[in-house]
Structure 1
């Protein structure tokens, strides 16, 4: 093992945010079992958001979710139906959305197969690789990006923000001497993404940025794609809470989840101006502010448990109102379908 590989392994070992999902969530499974026992339903959380498939736990359609959001609050979007010819889809997408554009599977998983495309040929190539229907969206160039976790108990007048994560996108700053590859390797967070970045930018990885030049390498704020997550929950104010509560109550059947938002300025976001919802995630949402490097694994477990309690309470209220959670067999079929779907997406990622 090379010295750089050893350094990377040690960094991963001592920074829990890079641990495998199954390890991080190992003690949480016990908490889940506790709430499953109380609910008499292993998949109790699927009743949390009644208008979203499976409550947004897994295998939910982005198109279905965007259709619930007021159109002025999400990017211009074209749904690429694989049953339609590539050329017709290309024409329709290009007529509605200009380049650059973001493409992502309609049913996604932890940032897999999301790409920024700059021309029609790259769109054709993506369509040729993508085995499932996908979304084509305008690229939102607002400089700030965050994730806001929102919960509301059904039947109550007011929900609340339970956490905010700000995102630093994966970018390097040139020193006038080092190649992009060398700048990536110098930062362990970026080094984990080296293979993926090389696949995206190709030979450009060997170029030398000018001193002070900033190169954005991954244009979306996904932790699995190298973004740094910063707990910004201290920015929760009454004004922001009221703005987000008003927005979320315009989304039918949405009670639990995280919105990923790009925006022009923090003050404008508080006022409900110049922002765009990039993603809305339901029952499967993580309180991603836990991934701030300053937080311990103990803090992460505490926050995940706190949000599982919200999920239980919300689902309980919805079930009492007549909405059902998945049965055990339905839930198992969902898990198996998701496993097959992830394998399909890996061919693109």
Structure 2
């Protein structure tokens, strides 16, 4: 029995037997025929840009976070400073100081994905190091201290006055609970999800992994709500009552050219969020958004496939209506250039 338990904790087997860890190409492969069918109906392979005319490429790939933040209502997102690649670290530090933005801060690529190169910065040394190693345009953001985070998937058909929430994902950050005797690394090895993050954690926080937490003491190791960074995704779509739907709809309609995508929101309490208080949009994702509530471990891969195709159908309808209203589809040449640029970006920020 001990042998089989040990075998079940092998990283490769964890990834094989838990579909939520399958590579993107593997998870989506059975759905490509449906994708091509939608392209055929649209008579355009890259029709997805028309889903969100106000966002570069519709938010499918290579969209600028800075440009998206500029679309958001004032005070609905963290204070954010933009820096071009190659900006000297001293200039970055001086600008941060001039804006009186206090630590901790968050550094992230202006164009990024899946939490790549996102880092919490605790002091000047962290900030300087992040600025020096960044190969792409990047953002320095105020850290939002609210403990809770949701990813709210929303859409509105252009010919309708009201939109709706189609799914909500809750996020449990990578946090360990002490037992009074085990090191943090030993605690991580007892959890299949955490075990997959060990190589990165050994590189980023090697000293912390040797600590022994007191019994029931909690330690947050990764303060980012990214699945690829160890966060557990929980389907909490039941939270989408009329009050929350109305709040999100009113907020989304203030974002010019936004019809389809996911808002990642930090908030204090769900009651305050429903009232539009004490929350901050940390990311707004467009036509490249996944319905991430599908990654709840309780869901099967068949549920995931159903949710993906359901949302693709919605995106197609929105794109078609916007196209009929005069929004051009991206050309094949533009689309291929976007894919090529994205491939290079992944290399730069991995």
> Normalising to structure 1: TM-score of the pair?
0.97
Which of 29, 32, 36 is the aligned partner of 1:33? 36
Matched, 1:212 2:216: yes
Cα separation, partners in 2 of 1:5 and 1:202, compared to 1, 3 Å: farther
Number of aligned residue pairs: 346
Does the 8 Å contact 2:88/2:132 carry over to 1?
A: no
Say whether 1:132 aligns with 2:136.
Answer: yes
Counterpart in the other structure of 1:192: 196
2:328 & 2:96 partners in 1: Cα distance?
37
Provide the residue aligned with 1:231 in structure 2: 235
Aligned residue among 58, 61, 65 for 1:62:
65
What CA distance in whole angstroms lies between the structure 2 residues aligned with 1:4 and 1:112? Answer: 29
Question: How far 1:94 sits from its partner (Å)?
Answer: 2.7
* 1:170 paired to 2:160: no
SS at match of 2:223: coil
Give me the whole-angstrom Cα distance separating, in 2, the residues matched to 1:108 and 1:182.
Answer: 32
Q: Say whether the 8 Å CA contact 2:174–2:231 is kept in structure 1.
A: yes
Task: Within 5 Å, give how 1:13-52 maps onto structure 2.
Answer: 13-52=16-55
Specify the alignment match of 1:81 in structure 2. Answer: 84
Which stretches in structure 1 are left out of the alignment for 5+ residues? none
1:282 aligns with 2:291: no
Query: For structure 1, which segment, 160-169 or 79-88, has the greater mean C-alpha deviation from structure 2 after superposition?
Result: 79-88
Match of 2:13 among 10, 14, 26: 10
Q: Which runs of 5+ in 2 are unaligned?
A: none
Residue among 141, 147, 172 paired with 2:151: 147
State how far apart, in whole Å, the 1-side matches of 2:142 and 2:206 are.
24
Q: 25-34 or 280-289, which moves further after superposition?
A: 25-34
Residue in structure 2 matching 1:259, options 255, 259, 263: 263
TM-score, structure 2 length as denominator? 0.96
In 2: Cα distance, 1:239 partner to 1:266 partner? 11
Q: Aligned equivalents of 1:37 and 1:160: distance in 2? A: 27
Query: What's the secondary structure of 1:216's corresponding residue?
Result: strand
Give yes or no for contact 1:81–1:89 (8 Å, CA) kept in 2: no
Indicate the SS of the match to 1:229. strand
CA distance, structure 1, for counterparts of residue 329 and residue 112 of structure 2: 21
**1:179 paired residue number:** 183
For residues 9 and 224 of structure 2, what CA distance do their matches in structure 1 show? 28
Change (3 A) 1:215 1:342: same
- Aligned CA RMSD, in angstroms, stands at 1.4
1 CA distance for matches of 2:292 and 2:168? 8
Measured after TM superposition, the shift of residue 6 of structure 1 is: 5.7
In 1, Cα distance between equivalents of 2:46 and 2:174: 35
Distance in 2, Cα, partners of 1:202 & 1:71:
39
88-97 or 304-313: which moved more? 88-97
Distance 1:110 1:236 in 2: 25
- How far 1:201 moved relative to its partner? 1.3
Give the distance between the partners of 2:95 and 2:74, measured in 1 at CA. Answer: 18
